[in-house]
Structure 1
Amino acid sequence: MWTRHHKNRKFGRLILPAVTIAFLSYFGYHSIHGDYGLRAAQEFERQRIARSAELAALVEHRQQLERQVELLSDGSLERDMIDEKARYQLNMSRPDEIVIFDSFLN
């Protein structure tokens, strides 16, 4: 009868823990530094906040433009608005007036 004798190797006992540590290290590193890791999530959040502020500014600007268009729309023309737009477009004013254009300040 044949029997097999296994040699006691210390190297063989360490293979499974070493592979486990390697996998955990790989996935742990990429969960923090990867494309979708914690640092990338912080960067995405920073971009979201910046773009939300930009969106709010653009919405406010659009509302101002819509108010101006509403004042110029047919049926609700106001003399002051027409006068203001004509003076701005023609770059003219009366001799006794002081004109300050606020579009240069924006």
Structure 2
Amino acid sequence: MVQNRAMAKRSTFSVLLRRTWLPALALVVMAFFGGYAVLGPNGVLAYGEYRHQLAAKKVTYEALDHQRAELRNRVNLLDHRHANPDLVDELARKKLNVVHPDEIIVPLN
């Protein structure tokens, strides 16, 4: 009789195990993907870091756009069809290291 109870318990446990292993596995997989969605590199918690990086990149791009506009203006001033005489004079003096006799040079450094 004791043996029958042990056999019945074992049988009930194996039936219960056979019925619940698939839902338990599904719960574990869902918990894994849920945790990854929150804590992973593309998860909800990483959103703040992405916003910070985006703001930093926007500042960098704005500075580059400003620099590009300055360079575009300088190129337009040096256009061979209608060059700005002041800029041409400045660049020629800088490259050739030439000074007029009546000029005073003030070093920057």
Superposed pair shares fold, TM > 0.5: yes
Tell me which residue corresponds to 1:97.
104
Equivalent position of 1:44 in the other structure = 50
Structure 2: distance between partners of 1:99 and 1:78: 24
Cα deviation digits, residues 21-65 of structure 1 (max 9, x gap) = 423421221011223212333333322222221111111111101
Q: Which structure dedicates a bigger proportion of its chain to helix?
A: 2
Is 1:82 aligned to residue 81 of structure 2? no
Q: Report which stretch shifted further, 91-100 or 24-33.
A: 91-100
CA distance in 1, matches of 2:87, 2:79: 11
Unpaired stretches in structure 2, ≥5 consecutive residues: 1-7
Distance 1:89 1:99, change over 3 A: farther
Structure 1: 5+ residue stretches without partners: none
Is the Cα contact below 8 Å between 1:31 and 1:37 reproduced in 2?
Answer: yes
> What does residue 15 of structure 1 align with?
20
Query: Normalising by the residue count of structure 1, what TM-score does the alignment of the two structures yield?
Result: 0.65
Q: CA offset at residue 100 of structure 1?
A: 5.7
Specify the SS of the correspondent of 1:36. coil
Q: Could you tell me the percent identity over the aligned residues?
A: 28
- Structure of higher CA gyration radius: 2
Alignment root-mean-square deviation, CA:
3.3
- TM-score, with normalisation over the residues of structure 2? 0.64
Read off the aligned partner of 2:96 and give its amino acid letter. L
Q: Which residue of 1 aligns with 2:40?
A: 34
Spell out the pairing of 1:42-81 with structure 2 (5 A cutoff).
42-81=48-87
Does the 8 A contact of 1:30 with 1:37 survive in 2?
Answer: yes
